[in-house]
Each structure stands twice: as structure tokens, then as C-alpha cells.
Amino acid sequence: MLYHGANRSELGVEVFQLITESAPNADCTSIQDPILAELPNWLNGGGVSEHSNTPARLYWGAMDALVAAQEEKHSSQPVDAVLEYLDAQLSQLTDEKYRSRLERLIADMRGFLGLGGGTITELFERNKGSLSRPLLLFCLREHCVNLLEFSHPLLSDAEYLLAGILFGVRDGWLRLPCLIRNQALSAYVMYHMSNVAHLKQGDVLSLPETPSPQPLRSLFPYETDEWHKNQTNAALEIAKGSKWRDCIEMIVASADGSPLDEPKQENGKFIFPGETTSTIEIRHQAFLNRIGEWPPIDAELESKIRVSLNSKIIEALN
């Protein structure tokens, strides 16, 4: 889920590259959200750090409760395991500020399960922060695909990624649809699953390490002045192939630089007097927004773009 969530934001790319150690300059200090910043510690099995705040301890404690319920194959629903943990923590909280917030969150989570409690916007406005909103989404949407299709202006990038972690643990790799498990991602995950299985048996996996796949967004820097011509051409090809008209703009100018007269419109065409030049450009932010939408772009088109961009990188290095 973090792989697909990375296509929605630069933060997503940073987090994915950090946990997969696939970028030389990846650094957890760039993660500003205090809950999300604990992800590397949690993945390494060390729990949250000593200086973590109460929301971070509650979120990752809920994650531990969810993982335990999945491993023990409890008959209860995953949401029930999380609510049971939160109920237990509520009785132990002494800070009134966090206690009242947690009480409201638990009530709204149960309200979702009972098909009540208000609209999504009302609940997000009532429950702010990267502990509450991911947990609310955990009740609101059932599967990973449902989350990938979801967007809301009040939901921050960090909150979306934290929701993705919850959904990923609940669904599990083997229950994900094929559209989510592309070939490169499958090879990477299966390698690490095999490695974990061998370690549990006291063996060492002798196969060569499978490199981490890179989210499509990582191939197109957020800062547009860092784009090379081949990246612009690739973005244009994606936009045309995906029929993203909002990502492309045509710029028409007079050949001598003088102001253009008003064009005449005829049969779907604009006709300018005199000689003109035209260029096609990509609207960068609109393109990056589209990359983060679900479903993803056509698999064959994506494969073609990746091969093209990777070959250009190799040529530049040589």
C-alpha cells in the first residue's frame, strides 16, 4: 500500500524509499508527522521510540493489536481488535486532553460501524490529526482498493499513508487483487517473504536480493525545473495515452513575437491570421495529481515508459 500511496505525494515517495532503502539520501528526519516518523522503528521490531507522543503510541499499539489478531486468526473483525485495544488504553489515560479526544474517536468509529455518526467531512472536522482520521477510514472503507479510490481535501498525505498501513495489514498480501500486485512489486515482496521464512527456520536465503520497485511518481521530480526533456516527453505520452486532457496545454505564439489577433473559430479549429508557432507542454501539477489516482495507468504503457526512462538514465551515466 505504501508503494501505491507513494504515487499520491512526495512524502509518499520519501517514506517508501526510506523503508526500502532504495534511495541514497533517504532520511527519516524529513518526516514531520510524529506518528509516521515511527514507522522505521516499528518495522524493525523495536516499537516506538522513548520520546514518541501519546498519539504515536496509541496508533502503533493499535497496529500491534491488529497484527496479533491477524496472526492468531481471531474470529472477530479487525476493527473490533483495534477498538478493544483503544478501549483498554482509554481507561489508562490520565491526560484529560487525550482522553476526551480518544473517547470522541472511539464513539465515532462505532458510529461508522452502526451507519451513523455524520458525514465524512463532519467526522474529519471533529477528529483532527494523524491518529484519528486513519482509524476512522479503517471503519469507513473495507479493502485496500476502496482506500486507493478514496480522496478527501481534509485528509493529509501523512494521514493517507498511515491509513494505507492499517489497510495493508488488514488485507494481507495474498488477499490483494492482481491489479495491486504488479510483477515488479510481487517479485520484491515474495523475496522478502521468503527471506523472513528462512530466518524463522534459522537458514539464510542464498538468492540474489530483488531490488525494490520504484513508484511511477518517483520518475518525475516535484520540482519542474529538474525535469529533463525525456521526462517531459514521457509525461506527454502518458497523458495522451490516458486521455488526460487537463494535463496538456497548447501554446500558440506569433512567429515574430508580435501580439496575436483574435482567432476565428471554425469547425472546432482556431484560425489565426499570419504565421504562428505552437508548442505542447505538460501541466506538471495536474499530471502529478493524475499519477496518484486509481486505477493506475495502463500496464503496457507504464512498462514502456519505465523502459524508456531507465534507458535514458543508463545512457546519461555512460
Closest CA to 157 of 59, 296, 310, 36: 36
Is a pLDDT exceeding 70 seen at residue 316?
no
Q: d(Cα 304, Cα 316) in Å, to the nearest integer?
A: 19
**217-260 pLDDT per residue, tens:** 999 998 888 899 999 999 999 999 999 999 999 999 999 989 99
> Within 10 A of 8 (CB to CB), how many other CB atoms are there?
23
Predicted local confidence at residue 295, as pLDDT: 95
**25-56 pLDDT per residue, tens:** 777 777 999 999 999 999 988 789 989 999 99
> Within 10 A of 256 (CB to CB), how many other CB atoms are there?
9
pTM: 0.92
pLDDT band at 202 (very low <50, low <70, confident <90, very high): confident
**176-196 pLDDT per residue, tens:** 999 999 999 999 999 988 887
Predicted local confidence at residue 317, as pLDDT: 45
- Per-residue b or e along 259-291, where b marks 16 or more CB atoms closer than 10 Å to that residue's CB: eeeeeeeeeeeeeeeeeeeeeeebbbebbbebb
Is a pLDDT exceeding 80 seen at residue 300?
yes
Q: What are the residue boundaries of the structural domains of the chain, listed by start?
A: 32-175, 220-317
Answer yes or no: are the C-beta atoms of 215 and 3 closer than 8 Å. yes
Is a pLDDT exceeding 60 seen at residue 318?
no
Closest CA to 102 of 94, 111, 90, 88: 90
Predicted local confidence at residue 219, as pLDDT: 95
